[in-house]
Amino acid sequence: GGAAEPPPKLVLDLERLAHVPTEKAGPLQRYTATIQSQRGDYNGKVLSIRQDDLRTLAVIYDQSPSVLTEQLISWGVLGNDARRAVQSEDS
Ligand code: C2E
Ligand code: C2E
Ligand code: C2E
C-alpha cells in the first residue's frame, strides 16, 4: 500500500477468542487479559492491540507475525484486513 495510508488496526474478537481451545489460544488469552487489566477495559467485545504486541505474540508462538496472523484469522479472532496490517510490518 501507499505510505500515506495508515495500516488497519489489529482488533481482536474477544468472544471468538474465548471459544478457541485453551491449548491453542492460552498464551493469547492470558496476554489479552493482561492488556485489559492494565487498561481497565473489561467490558469490550473487541480489543484493539498494538502492532508491537503482535510481534511479541509471534515470538511467544514461535512463528512469524504473518503466519500467526493467518492462524488468528482462521480462528475468527482477527478479520481479513489484519493481513494488510502485518504486511506493512514485514520487510
Ligand atoms: P503506557 O504505555 O505508558 O501508556 C500510558 C497511557 O497512554 C495509556 O493508558 C493510554 O491512555 C495512552 N496510550 C499509550 N499508547 C497508546 C496508543 O497506542 N493508543 C492509545 N489510544 N492510547 C495510548 P492506559 O490505556 O490506561 O494503559 C496503561 C498502561 O498499560 C500502558 O502504559 C501500558 O504499559 C499498558 N498497556 C495498555 N494497553 C497496552 C497494550 O495494548 N499493549 C501493551 N504492550 N501495553 C499496554
Ligand atoms: P474504532 O477504533 O474503529 O472502534 C470501533 C468500536 O470498536 C469502538 O466504539 C468500541 O466499541 C470497539 N473497540 C475498539 N477497540 C476497542 C478496545 O480496545 N476496547 C474496547 N472495549 N472496545 C473497543 P467506540 O468506543 O464508540 O469508539 C468509536 C471510535 O472512537 C473508535 O473507532 C475510535 O476511532 C475512537 N476512539 C474511541 N476510544 C478511543 C481511544 O481510546 N483512542 C483513540 N485513539 N480513539 C478512540
Ligand atoms: P490508536 O489509539 O488509534 O493509535 C494508533 C497508533 O498511533 C498506535 O498504533 C501508535 O502507533 C500511535 N499512538 C497512539 N497513541 C500513542 C501514544 O500515546 N504513544 C505512542 N508512542 N504512540 C501512540 P499501535 O501502537 O499499533 O496501537 C493500535 C491501537 O491499539 C491503538 O489505536 C489503540 O486503539 C490500541 N492501544 C494501543 N496501546 C494502547 C494503550 O496503552 N491503551 C489503550 N487504551 N489502547 C491502546
Read off the pLDDT of residues 41-77 as tens digits, 9 standing for 90 and up.
999 999 999 999 999 999 999 999 999 999 999 999 9
Residue 60 maps to a domain: yes
Cα 41 to ligand 1 centre (Å):
11
Cα distances from 66 to residues 2, 10, 13, 55, 82, in angstroms, run 19, 13, 18, 9, 9
Residue 2 maps to a domain: no
Residue 4 maps to a domain: no
Which of 11, 12, 41, 10 minimizes the C-alpha distance to 29?
12
When divided into structural domains, the chain yields a total of: 1
Residue 78 maps to a domain: yes
Residue 5 maps to a domain: no
Residue range of the domain that includes 37: 10-87
Ligand 3 pocket test, pick from 37, 47, 50 with the greatest ligand atom count within 8 Å of Cβ, gives: 50
Contact between 54 and 40 (Cβ < 8 Å)? no
Cα 44 to ligand 2 centre (Å):
10
C-alpha cell at 41: 477495559
pTM for the model: 0.91
Residues in the chain, how many? 91
CATH of residue 81: 1.10.10.1930
Cα 7 to ligand 1 centre (Å):
19
